[in-house]
Structure 1
Amino acid sequence: MQRISVVGTTGSGKTTLARQIQQRLNIPHVELDYLHWEPNWTEVADDIFQQRVSQALSGDSWVVDGNYSKVREIIWRKADTIVWLDYAFVLTMSRLLKRTFWRVVTQQPVCNGNRETWKTTFSRDSILLWGLNTYHKRRKEYPILFSQPEYAHLQVVHLRSPQATQDWLFSL
C-alpha cells in the first residue's frame, strides 16, 4: 500500500482517516477539496482540476481523499488500494451534522479560506443536503465500480464501522 484512495460518503471521515494513514505510513496526503475549490467556493474548471490531481499524484506514494468522479479515473488508475468507509446512515449523518454546525459556529476554514455558513447550511447548496442525496447512491455505486475490469488491480478495504477502521489502521 503506497498509493491509497480513501472514499466514502460525505461526513464519513475520509480526510481524518487519510491524515492518520499519512502519519502511520509517512506518505504525502492529498485532499481533493483543496484542488477543487478556490476561494469563495468557486469550482475550478474540470481540466485544471484534472491537471492538479495528476500533478499531486505524480509521486511514488500518497494517500488521497475524496469522491470526485471527475478525477476518479486518474486516481484509481494510479492507486493500488481503495479504502471505502461504508458506515451506517445514522452515524454518517450525525457526524456530518455535528461537523457542519461546529464549522459554522467556530468559522473554522474548510479549504482555501472557505467557510461554512448558516446561509449555505440551509440552502440548496447545503453539505447536509448533499450528504442526504448522495449517501445511498454511493453505497450502490462503489461495489459496481470496484467490479469493473479496469479496477481489478485495486485492493479494496471495505470498512463498515469506526472500530473496524481503527483496527485496520493499527494493523498498518
Structure 2
Amino acid sequence: MTLVDELTWLPGWVPVDPEVQREVIGRVVADERWLLDSAYGAWLDLVLPRAQLVVGLDYPRWLSFGRLVRRTASGAITREPRCNGNIETWRAMLRRDSILVWHFRSFGRKRARMRAWAGSPDGPPVLLFRRPRDLDAWLATLAPAD
C-alpha cells in the first residue's frame, strides 16, 4: 500500500508541489497492482480510471473527527513521527490551517463525492462502509495478500 501522506508532504509539513504529486501518483497507478490509502481531488483523474474498486469509509462525522482528534493529540503527546519525520504539535492543532479545521472544511465535500461515486454506473465499483464493524467484517472475508 502506498501511504499518500508520504508522497504529498515533505519534512516540516511542507506540501509537495502539486505537479510533482501528479507525476508520482501517475507512476504509482501505472503499475499493474497498487493500493492507495487516499485519493486527493487534485489527481483523482489519474486514479479513478485505473481503479478496480473504491472502498469508502462513510463514517459519521463525529466518529471521523473523534478519531482524527485522538490521532493528532496522541502524536502531539508522543511526538512519534508521522510521514517523512513530521510530528504533530499542539500549536499546529490550533492553527487556522490545522488538520482539524481541514476536516470540517472537507468532510461534506468528500462524503458527497463518495456517495456520488457509489450511485453512479460509471467508474469503478464502490463499497461504502458506514460503521467500522462492517468494514472489519468485509476485510475478514478477504484472502491474505501474496
Relative to the length of structure 2, the TM-score reads 0.90
Are residue 171 (structure 1) and residue 135 (structure 2) matched? no
Are residue 161 (structure 1) and residue 127 (structure 2) matched? no
Residue type at the aligned position of 1:76:
L
1:57-76, aligned counterparts within 5 Å? 57-76=29-48
Distance, in Å, in 2 between the alignment partners of 1:159 and 1:113 is 31
- Deviation, 1:58, is 2.4
Q: Which runs of 5+ in 1 are unaligned?
A: 1-28
1:65-96 CA distances to partner (integer Å, 9 max, x unpaired)?
A: 11411111111111110000000111111111
- Deviation, 1:46, is 1.4
Query: Which structure 1 residue ranges, 4+ long, deviate > 2 Å from structure 2?
Result: 141-149
1:7-46, aligned counterparts within 5 Å? 29-46=1-18
Q: Which runs of 5+ in 2 are unaligned?
A: none
- Deviation, 1:41, is 1.1
Residue type at the aligned position of 2:97:
D
- Deviation, 1:61, is 1.2
State the partner residue of 1:123. Answer: 95
Distance, in Å, in 2 between the alignment partners of 1:143 and 1:88 is 13
Which of 112, 125, 128 aligns to 1:140? It is 112
- Deviation, 1:112, is 0.8
In structure 2, the CA distance between the partners of 1:153 and 1:133, relative to structure 1 (3 Å rule), is closer
**Count of aligned pairs:** 142
- Deviation, 1:141, is 2.5
**How much identity, in percent, do the aligned residues show?**
30
RMSD: 1.5
1:106-128 CA distances to partner (integer Å, 9 max, x unpaired)?
A: 11111111111111100012111
Distance, in Å, in 1 between the alignment partners of 2:108 and 2:73 is 23
Classify the secondary structure of the residue corresponding to 1:51: helix
| Structure in which a larger fraction of residues adopt strand | 1
- Deviation, 1:138, is 1.6
Residue type at the aligned position of 1:134:
S
Distance, in Å, in 2 between the alignment partners of 1:146 and 1:74 is 18
In structure 2, the CA distance between the partners of 1:148 and 1:46, relative to structure 1 (3 Å rule), is farther
Distance, in Å, in 1 between the alignment partners of 2:41 and 2:111 is 14
1:108-159 CA distances to partner (integer Å, 9 max, x unpaired)?
A: 111111111111100012111111222222222222345567xx24011111
